[in-house]
Amino acid sequence: MYEVDILPKIGDIIKDRYKIVLKISQGEKRIIFSAFDQQMQQIAVKLEQDTDGETTICVESAILKILANSNHIPRFFSYGQHKNCKFMAYELLGPNLIDLVNYKRPYKFSLHYVLKFGIQAIETLQIVHNKDFIYRNIKPGNFLIGNTQGTFGTFYLVGFELCKKINKHHGVVTTPTNKANFRGTMMYSSLNAHNLVELGRNDDLISLFYILVEFYNGMLPWSDVDEQKVQALKEYFHGRKLLQRLPKQFLEFESYILSLDYTTDPDYTYLISLLIQAAEENEINLNDPFEWEEEINEERMNVMILQVKQQHKAV
């Protein structure tokens, strides 16, 4: 937990560069603020108290540098020390997928939105995997939209602290032999995670698949059960038992990702093509915007920014 006296306060300036404006969120180990840089650009600043070992912000900063200038990845600005904390400054984003799925209808997306999001998410995972990283914690809260009119319909992936390099020997992907610890979020983790098998690119895709099913159906069969029962339900619910309300392409999607192992290079183009086929068969135009794109307009965003700037001037 954080010591109160080391926490930044509204109006504090970090490294003579970033002026703290608002607290966005706070967890047990990390805290995120919005801030303004010297050019009055609104950014996000994440801080983590120093520990004896390597901080997760140090790991995340290094990964964001490697992923720099990629679509669906927030821009990285800087990393450094502030009092007894490590900090990372990066692109400020908008609401996450959980906020959006509850925007008007409780925890459910239309097929249009599921397919449109799914395509972007597959593209994102391909970017991460092509840089030789396995994400290992795909969950709805880590997908955020942009915070400008041109990016309200674009999803970005955040939270890279659990990422791990793909196991390679002389440039060839090889299956790890050591037993792993559980990694990920119980709701969306693959059976490999439950069985303490080292996670691969296939497991990231399985976690994404569970999100797509959940957001269309409104829940997963193991959504409201004790954690001890989740693995057994995942083993039972697959194929038509899980996907009876979804287009047939989801059966092909599931069958394909379950056929992959740690060393297999996923065919991301094939997976995207399945979602496009589902859209075409259901007469869905994937170029149509998300509902929130039309309602979260530039005027509203300007009002929000003006309010923050007024608070910034007052401190």
Statement to judge: residues 274 and 125 lie in one domain: yes
Its pTM stands at: 0.91
pLDDT at 173 over 70: yes
Cα→Cα distances 239→165, 173, 279, Å: 31, 29, 20
Neighbours of 107 (CB within 10 A): 14
Q: Which residue has the higher pLDDT, 27 or 250?
A: 250
Q: Which of 65, 92, 119 is the last residue of a domain?
A: 92
Statement to judge: residues 226 and 111 lie in one domain: yes
Taking the C-alpha atoms of residue 221 and residue 233, their distance in angstroms, rounded to an integer, is: 7
The arithmetic mean of pLDDT across residues 211-232, rounded, is: 96
Statement to judge: residues 130 and 219 lie in one domain: yes
Confidence of residue 8 (pLDDT cuts 50, 70, 90): confident
Statement to judge: residues 123 and 241 lie in one domain: yes
Whichever domain contains 18, its CATH number is 3.30.200.20
Does the CA dihedral 198-202-208-211 come out positive or negative? negative
Cα–Cα nearest to 59, from 175, 164, 204: 164
3-state helix, strand, coil in the chain (%, to 5): 40, 15, 40
Whichever domain contains 224, its CATH number is 1.10.510.10
The boundaries of the domain holding residue 266 are 97-281
Statement to judge: residues 165 and 264 lie in one domain: yes
114 membership: H or E segment, kind and range: helix 111-130
> Would 233 be classed as within a structural domain?
yes
Q: Which of 92, 125, 153 is the last residue of a domain?
A: 92
Q: Which residue has the higher pLDDT, 107 or 203?
A: 203
pLDDT in tens, 15-33: 889 999 999 988 878 899 9
pLDDT in tens, 134-160: 999 999 999 999 998 889 999 999 999
What pLDDT is attached to residue 312?
45
Q: Which of 38, 68, 92 is the last residue of a domain?
A: 92
Q: Which residue has the higher pLDDT, 38 or 78?
A: 78
What pLDDT is attached to residue 294?
77
> Would 79 be classed as within a structural domain?
yes
Taking the C-alpha atoms of residue 292 and residue 104, their distance in angstroms, rounded to an integer, is: 10
Are 29 and 36 in contact by the 8 Å Cβ rule? The answer is no
Statement to judge: residues 42 and 164 lie in one domain: no
Confidence of residue 47 (pLDDT cuts 50, 70, 90): very high
| Domains of the chain: total | 2
pLDDT in tens, 57-99: 999 999 999 999 999 999 999 999 988 889 999 999 999 999 8
pLDDT at 315 over 50: no
> Would 234 be classed as within a structural domain?
yes
Statement to judge: residues 9 and 146 lie in one domain: no
What pLDDT is attached to residue 302?
54
Report the percentage of the chain scoring pLDDT > 70: 90
